[in-house]
Amino acid sequence: MRGARWARETPENPIVASEAEQHPTLPKVETGITGFDEITFGGLPAGRPSLVCGAAGCGKTLFATTFLVNGATLFDEPGVFMSFEERAEDLVANVASLGYDLDRLVAEGRIAIDHVRVERSEIEETGEYDLDGLFIRLGYAVDTVKAKRVVLDTIETLFSGFSDASILRAELRRLFGWIKDRGLTAVITGERGEGQLTRQGLEEYVSDCVVLLDNRVEDQITTRRLRVVKYRGSAHGTNEYPFLIDAEGISVLPVTSADLDYAAPGGIISSGIAGLDEMLEPGGFHRGSSILISGEAGTGKTMISSSMIDAACRRGERCMSFVFEESGDQICRNASSIGLDLAQHVQAGLLRFEAARPSLFGLEMHLARMHRDIDRFDPSLVVVDPLSALRGPATEMQATILRMVDLLKCRGITALFTSLRIDGAVDLADDFGVSSLMDSWIKLQSVEANGERSRTLYVIKARGMRHSHQVREFLMSDAGIRLIDAYIGPSGVLTGTARLIQEAEEQAAALRRRQENERRRREATRRRLSIERQIAELEAGLEAAEEEERLLLGENEAREARIASDRREIAKRRGAAG
């Protein structure tokens, strides 16, 4: 490698030079455009011209204006906007929708706007034609505000009168050389050509950096995309990146920035439903995890997500909800039916709803919008309700959902997704791999029996924690959501009225068993008392017989003693007579 210096590390000569010292980096200028500076690793090349090209309506002028305004307001770098199409007053009016007050910046001397009218009839194409007049005019504007940044919009208008490619190339090189000699960081806009980046096909070759903007329509949905075609002297992101233009400016989503090296935050957060927390061994969900709540329409997906939002806001955490089917006010109104006051959290600045129809943007534009809003609001809990409302090709849907999950995980944000499932099945063809991306999956079902529907809930999976495998019925009332044990009988799970009837029958059977046991206890007591009475009577009879026998024996003994005494007396008298 030419110019490389090699050294061998020794104890006497350790290599301590940093990578930046060994490989000097190209000086760059930040544009201040969210996401763009990340994919270009610092912004546009400093002191060099950059070409921003694209078809009509793709945002070239707004990109250039943002670059100029951010330089004046954020980085203290005045700038010059030289327009060859729009008048100054038209430009000021057009970018006012982005919140850019060009009139104020002009009055403060931080930006100069010059409109140069180019008429083809006034251009003489000769070998002696040059742009000295333009250089004088541009140089005067640069010196007036001491500009560091310059915008030329658009270059095709300036060279529209040339048909000789050699003269055009020479003048382009001279223009870009003049910009480099003055040390100006320039953004030059160009219109898209047929089969090439620009109409002339020369600007992209003499520019140091080329950014291509595209306004693509697929399935009647418009998506703006940006690609860095080349960047001399610097690495850069090479993919197409969706970018968003709205009232808050321009933001670019670096879709390839999400890696699988994010840290898993610690801590357990409550779902706001006591019964659901009890089904999870830690008493809630892991912080920073992705949670999927799927079920049929009307099973209570939004109410469960609202309960989790309310619990997070009560802990003082910020929450953001991206909704695609209802407005934020409607969700707040519906949540009040179960005793949740989400409106107070909105007023306190803890809860923010971002509502948009799925067809309003393409998938990547929804992702770019989410990326920008999350960066600005910095929530700890994000709800996407419902994820199944998004529509697009299968491969694009899967890629978008994957990037959406990674976007939240790499920021340690707890994500709650709801998904509509038509028949409640686990392995639907339109799953798009969502279930495998989730850390926890709560499935809701509507059970129909005895002419009524009841709601049931069970946990399909919960990574990193033990959880209950039982089906639980849940009830929604003005006191919130309450989970109750579902009755599992011979015919399956009984819920609703069937459960109440079964419980009543079980209570009646239990009462009959208690009454029968009581009757048997009374009968046993009666028999025991009867037997005890009989025993007492027999014992009394035995005692009487024993007493009678004792008396008889006493009388017999007395008679025998009397007889013996009489015999002795008689014997005594006979002896005396003799």
> What pLDDT does residue 256 have?
47
Q: Name the pLDDT band for 343 (thresholds 50, 70, 90).
A: very high
- pLDDT tens digit sequence for 352-368: 999 888 877 777 778 87
| Those residues with Cβ within 8 angstroms of residue 204's Cβ, 6 or more apart along the chain or in another chain | 51, 53, 196, 197, 198, 210, 229, 230
Instruction: Give the residue, 391 or 430, on which the prediction is more confident.
Output: 391
Element spanning 224, H or E: strand 221-231
DSSP conformational letter for 331: H
- 31-45, 209-223, 479-493: the lowest-pLDDT one: 479-493
Which of 400-404, 501-505, 539-543 is the most confident on average? 539-543
> What pLDDT does residue 150 have?
93
- pLDDT tens digit sequence for 320-340: 999 988 899 999 999 999 999
Q: Is 15 a residue whose pLDDT tops 50?
A: no
The whole-angstrom separation of Cα 125 and Cα 312 is: 70
pTM of this structure:
0.64
Average pLDDT over residues 245-251: 77
> What pLDDT does residue 507 have?
79
Average pLDDT over residues 430-441: 76
Angle of helix 88-95 relative to helix 60-73, nearest 10 degrees?
A: 80
> What pLDDT does residue 476 have?
87
The answer to whether the CB of 482 falls within 8 A of the CB of 275 is: yes
Q: Is 215 a residue whose pLDDT tops 70?
A: yes
Radius of gyration of the chain (CA): 46
Average pLDDT over residues 432-440: 79
Q: Name the pLDDT band for 309 (thresholds 50, 70, 90).
A: very high
Which of 166-170, 341-345, 428-432 is the most confident on average? 341-345
Q: Is 533 a residue whose pLDDT tops 50?
A: yes
- 100-109, 221-230, 318-327: the lowest-pLDDT one: 221-230
Task: Tell me how crowded residue 564 is: count the other CB atoms within 10 A of its CB.
Answer: 10
- What average pLDDT does the chain have? 80
- 34-38, 217-221, 284-288, 291-295: the lowest-pLDDT one: 217-221
Q: Is 16 a residue whose pLDDT tops 50?
A: no
Q: Is 231 a residue whose pLDDT tops 80?
A: yes
How far from the centroid of its chain's Cα atoms is residue 378's Cα? 12
Task: Tell me how crowded residue 308 is: count the other CB atoms within 10 A of its CB.
Answer: 24
- 329-338, 421-430, 517-526, 539-548: the lowest-pLDDT one: 421-430
- 33-47, 95-109, 267-281, 421-435: the lowest-pLDDT one: 421-435
Report DSSP letters for 237-287, one per residue. Answer: --S-EEEEEETTEEEE--TT---S-------EE--S-HHHHHTBTTSSEET
- pLDDT tens digit sequence for 118-143: 655 554 444 445 577 778 888 899 99
> What pLDDT does residue 320 have?
94
Average pLDDT over residues 177-206: 75
Angle of helix 328-335 relative to helix 301-314, nearest 10 degrees?
A: 90
Q: Is 6 a residue whose pLDDT tops 60?
A: no
Tokens of residue 492, six digits: 């399956």
Q: Is 500 a residue whose pLDDT tops 80?
A: no
Instruction: Give the residue, 151 or 263, on which the prediction is more confident.
Output: 151
> What pLDDT does residue 445 have?
85
> What pLDDT does residue 426 have?
41
Average pLDDT over residues 137-157: 87
Q: Is 3 a residue whose pLDDT tops 90?
A: no
Q: Is 246 a residue whose pLDDT tops 80?
A: no
Q: Name the pLDDT band for 2 (thresholds 50, 70, 90).
A: very low
Alpha-carbon torsion 322, 328, 332, 333, what sign?
Answer: negative
Percent of the chain clearing pLDDT 90 (strictly above): 23
> What pLDDT does residue 135 have?
82
> What pLDDT does residue 8 have?
35
Q: Is 10 a residue whose pLDDT tops 50?
A: no
Q: Which pairing describes strands 221-231 and 249-252: parallel, antiparallel, or unpaired?
A: unpaired
Q: Closest by alpha carbon to 458, among 439, 482, 475, 441?
A: 441
Instruction: Give the residue, 395 or 426, on which the prediction is more confident.
Output: 395
Q: Name the pLDDT band for 5 (thresholds 50, 70, 90).
A: very low
Q: Closest by alpha carbon to 277, among 494, 462, 478, 476?
A: 462
Percent of the chain clearing pLDDT 70 (strictly above): 81
> What pLDDT does residue 350 have?
93
Instruction: Give the residue, 434 or 487, on which the prediction is more confident.
Output: 434
Tokens of residue 177, six digits: 């050389």
Average pLDDT over residues 194-216: 72
> What pLDDT does residue 79 have?
94
